[in-house]
């Protein structure tokens, strides 16, 4: 049976179509989910895409965190549902307290849009199991509020528990502490990443095919997960 991966659309979502396309290219069925509908419609995993949900008012992701779909999704994620938050989706996951820390204004105060090298630190998550630890990949980054911050105790815990999923290499585009580009929860089913793997799944439009691994990884994870 083909896996069904939900992609949530919020008011102001920008990359939901790209995320759905990446899901399809990986071999799954994308299912469009609406922010105002609390139902997840039986999906096997969920992507929270990039963009500017609710216009980034108050704080990036702060309003989206209270959307009806998020009430259901938070419970499902805590129950083991794989969830990937990309850029604004990462911000929403932090606001929903599914991931620790916060994403703040880039230290240089400029929007940064470029192809970015990352080093995969953890291949033990639902979204990175097709990578090798230490593998370097190239995906686009585009953000104005992508600076990951957390208190020292949280950063130390993320390091000690192997929950830093990816780091920036070849230059930090936003000033994120400890060059953190992606993190996971303790269970490994929820991942937040600031760069955009969905923009690196086709040779025609991306700088590489490296982003496809995030989407094929969740399919591999689902195959190995008991029904």
Segment 192-206, tens digit of pLDDT: 999 999 999 999 999
Q: Rounded to an integer, what distance in angstroms lies between the CA atom of residue 213 and that of residue 224? A: 16
Listed range (103-117, 148-162, 181-195, 207-221) with the worst mean pLDDT: 103-117
Contact 133, 146 (CB under 8 A): no
198 flagged as catalytic: yes
Domain ranges of the chain: 4-224
Where does the pLDDT of residue 215 fall: very low under 50, low under 70, confident under 90, or very high at 90 and above?
Answer: very high
Q: Of 87, 145, 147, 221, which is the active-site residue?
A: 87
What 3-state DSSP class applies to 164? strand
Q: Residues with Cβ < 8 Å from 17, sequence gap 6 or more?
A: none
Query: How much is the mean pLDDT over the chain?
Result: 95
Q: Residues with Cβ < 8 Å from 190, sequence gap 6 or more?
A: 77, 82, 83, 85, 93, 98, 99, 184
Q: Of 94, 121, 198, 199, which is the active-site residue?
A: 198
CATH code of the domain made up of 4-224: 3.40.50.880
Predicted TM-score of the model (pTM): 0.96
Where does the pLDDT of residue 226 fall: very low under 50, low under 70, confident under 90, or very high at 90 and above?
Answer: low
87 flagged as catalytic: yes
Q: Of 35, 117, 196, 221, which is the active-site residue?
A: 196
Residue 225: the pLDDT is 67
196 flagged as catalytic: yes
């Amino acid at each position: 049976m083909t896996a069904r991966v939900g992609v949530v659309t919020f008011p102001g979502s920008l990359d939901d179509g790209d995320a759905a396309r990446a899901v399809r290219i990986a071999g799954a069925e994308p299912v469009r989910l609406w922010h105002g509908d609390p139902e997840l419609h039986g999906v096997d995993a969920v992507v929270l895409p990039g963009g500017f949900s609710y216009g980034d008012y108050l704080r990036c992701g702060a309003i989206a965190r209270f959307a009806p779909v998020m009430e259901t999704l938070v419970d499902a994620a805590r129950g083991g549902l794989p969830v990937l938050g990309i850029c604004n989706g990462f911000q929403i996951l932090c606001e929903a307290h599914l991931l620790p820390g916060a994403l703040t204004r880039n230290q240089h105060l400029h929007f940064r849009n470029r192809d970015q090298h990352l080093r995969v630190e953890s291949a033990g998550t639902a979204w990175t199991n097709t990578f090798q630890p230490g593998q370097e990949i190239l995906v686009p980054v585009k953000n104005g509020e992508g600076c990951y911050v957390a208190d020292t105790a949280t950063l130390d815990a993320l390091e000690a528990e192997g929950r830093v999923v990816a780091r920036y290499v070849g230059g930090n585009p936003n000033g994120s502490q400890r060059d953190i580009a992606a993190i996971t929860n303790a269970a490994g089913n929820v991942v937040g990443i600031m760069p955009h793997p969905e923009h690196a799944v086709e040779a025609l439009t991306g700088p590489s095919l490296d982003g496809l691994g995030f989407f094929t990884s969740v399919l591999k994870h689902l195959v190995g997960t008991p029904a």
